[in-house]
A and B are shown apart, each in its own frame.
Chain A
């Protein structure tokens, strides 16, 4: 369990990701139509947005990234999800904060975990227990 101080840090960090946190009245009764349209723009549809040049780098692949790619593909191969239905939507429709905040394959593995729970292949408790087990196993090393 996180301490009160830790929780406070997490909340203040997530408030920086999400502009809505900065509104005192965060229970809107109505929103302007333009605001609705803005919320509806899918974060992965980036065509035509303004931006400035950056330095394009090559990146070596982490082992977990390759494993994530393979796990997601094999889940598709074995019919657990198909790439259109849950896979692509899961990777992309995360909301702008997670979409831009997570690494590319972070979005993939997050959506795979979420799908396993959504489709009742594992319970949320099983997933959390497994995560804790993997963490403990690696701390022992």
Chain B
């Protein structure tokens, strides 16, 4: 805790000065303790943990990008997506029953894909916590879990979108969907102009994570989300950059 790099330094005085060697935090200790006790008590095996980690490290927004690109180029596929998104995910290689055979314990297998139109824009939030379509988009960004985003998006959606750099015309209706444990949402943005004749692979490149949350819009040439300040990890997940673009 003494190495928290957030903007709140008021509690620093209660801890001794940082030692020369980077100190292990109380949460790191607790994480190791809980994991080791659970394995020692036979609640799960190290192999269970390894297998789940392998799955958790390879999920990411690339799957969602493929789904959107395919839906843009194939109207019949789009209809299947809007009808039964979990089933339609199989066609782009995402099986929501992974990695346990019955899905993850927290991602209930019910997904609704929200189709944007020129006059309707969707954006997703989870006001109660952090529900997010992990199998398709990977782990949620930290700001998505923040009380600030959660409380403000549903009250001032246009203002919050503007803070993300997305200025929506007053003629466009903004619809905020509040995710919950029994239903996950993902935004299917409208296909932008200037992409006529593009292949699915080309289209997928402009479908970034933020466009599927609804805080950005895809456009030709925009292949990455806007740059934001990055809070660096002290001991990051190895190879995170490769696993989570």
Residues of A within 8 A of B (CB): 9-10, 13, 44-49, 51, 53-71, 73-78, 80, 82-84, 87-88, 91-92, 100, 103-106, 109-110, 112-113, 116, 121-122, 126-127, 130-131, 133-135, 138, 141
Q: Separation in Å of the A12 CB from the closest CB of chain B?
A: 8
A138: chain B residues within 8 A (beta carbon):
24, 29
Q: How large is the interface on B (under 10, 10 to 19, 20 to 34, 35 or more residues)?
A: 35 or more
Q: Specify the chain B residue showing the minimal Cβ separation from A71.
A: B35
B14 in contact with A70 (CB, 8 Å):
no
A100: chain B residues within 8 A (beta carbon):
147
Which of A46, A91, A100, A141 has the largest number of chain B CB atoms within 10 A? A46
30 pairs, A vs B, C-beta closer than 8 Å: A13-B14, A45-B127, A46-B147, A48-B155, A49-B151, A54-B146, A56-B149, A57-B142, A57-B143, A58-B143, A58-B230, A61-B240, A62-B233, A64-B25, A67-B35, A68-B27, A69-B56, A70-B52, A73-B56, A74-B49, A84-B181, A92-B128, A105-B27, A109-B34, A113-B33, A113-B34, A116-B37, A121-B37, A126-B37, A127-B37
**With known contacts A56-B149, A130-B33, A44–B233 Cβ distance under 8 A:** no
A60: chain B residues within 8 A (beta carbon):
230-233, 236, 240
B147: chain A residues within 8 A (beta carbon):
46, 49, 51, 100
**Assembled-state Cα–Cα distance A54/B233 (Å):** 20
A121 in contact with B43 (CB, 8 Å):
yes
Q: Contact mask B227-239 → A, CB, 8 Å, 1/0? A: 0111111111110
Q: Specify the chain A residue showing the minimal Cβ separation from B6.
A: A103
User: A-side binding surface: helix, strand, loop or mixed?
Assistant: helix
Q: Separation in Å of the B244 CB from the closest CB of chain A?
A: 8
A134: chain B residues within 8 A (beta carbon):
29, 32-33, 36
**Assembled-state Cα–Cα distance A112/B43 (Å):** 12
A130: chain B residues within 8 A (beta carbon):
33, 36-37
Q: Which residue of B142, B235, B236 is within 8 Å of A104 (Cβ)? A: B142
B43: chain A residues within 8 A (beta carbon):
75, 78, 80, 116, 121
B14 in contact with A64 (CB, 8 Å):
no
Query: Is B171 among interface residues, defined by CB-CB distance under 8 A?
Result: no
Q: Specify the chain A residue showing the minimal Cβ separation from B227.
A: A58
B33 in contact with A127 (CB, 8 Å):
yes
Query: Is B105 among interface residues, defined by CB-CB distance under 8 A?
Result: yes
Q: Contact mask B50-69 → A, CB, 8 Å, 1/0? A: 00110011000000000000
A68 in contact with B31 (CB, 8 Å):
yes
Query: Is B219 among interface residues, defined by CB-CB distance under 8 A?
Result: no
Q: Separation in Å of the A51 CB from the closest CB of chain B?
A: 5
Q: A53-B160, A56-B143, A104-B130 are known; give 12 further A-B pairs, CB within 8 A.
A: A45-B127, A56-B146, A58-B230, A59-B141, A60-B233, A62-B236, A64-B31, A66-B57, A67-B53, A77-B48, A127-B37, A131-B29
Q: Contact mask B206-245 → A, CB, 8 Å, 1/0? A: 0000000000000000000000111111111110100010
B236 in contact with A61 (CB, 8 Å):
yes
**With known contacts A44-B129, A67-B35, A122-B41, A10–B238 Cβ distance under 8 A:** no
Which of B41, B129, B159 has the largest number of chain A CB atoms within 10 A? B129
B230 in contact with A13 (CB, 8 Å):
no
